[in-house]
């Protein structure tokens, strides 16, 4: 389960994006236990490694993986972001709200996706 600090950062980023009228949502994935009477079942949802936040801006899809200052990507998260970027979209790692604000200000000024990818890994 994600730590509270990471969840707080996600919440801040989603709040900022909403304030800026940027369409985005929190993407859940994982395994959940469903119990119907005495029967228990594991329910899997989402794509392994999918980013925490997905949205659209300037006719492109973006995928944000939220990590704390010391958080590390899993192999699946890294593979997912690489696939996003290879397909012409923007996949980044953000560690706080300040980075999110900087990302969208730079993107809004016309900075290239390649430059943004290098900056926000």
* 7-26 pLDDT per residue, tens: 999 999 999 999 999 999 99
**Predicted model pTM:** 0.90
- CA-to-CA distance for 4 and 27, rounded, in angstroms? 17
Q: Choose among 89, 85, 24, 23: nearest CA to 60.
A: 89
81 burial (CB, 10 Å; 0-12 / 13-18 / 19+) is: buried
* 64-93 pLDDT per residue, tens: 999 999 999 999 999 999 999 999 999 999
Domains parsed from the chain with CATH numbers: 4-119 (3.40.1350.10)
- CA-to-CA distance for 89 and 47, rounded, in angstroms? 17
């Amino acid at each position: 389960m994600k730590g509270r600090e990471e969840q707080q950062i996600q919440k801040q980023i989603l709040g900022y994006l909403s304030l800026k009228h940027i369409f985005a949502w929190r993407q859940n994935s994982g395994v959940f236990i469903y119990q119907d009477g005495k029967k228990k079942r594991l329910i899997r949802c989402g794509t392994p490694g999918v980013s925490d936040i997905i949205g659209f801006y300037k006719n492109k899809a973006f995928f944000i993986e939220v990590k704390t200052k010391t958080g590390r990507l899993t192999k699946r998260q890294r593979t997912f972001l690489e696939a996003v970027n290879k397909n012409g979209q923007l996949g980044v790692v953000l560690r706080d709200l300040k980075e999110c604000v900087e990302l969208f200000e730079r993107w809004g000024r016309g900075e290239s996706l390649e430059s943004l990818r290098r900056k926000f890994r």
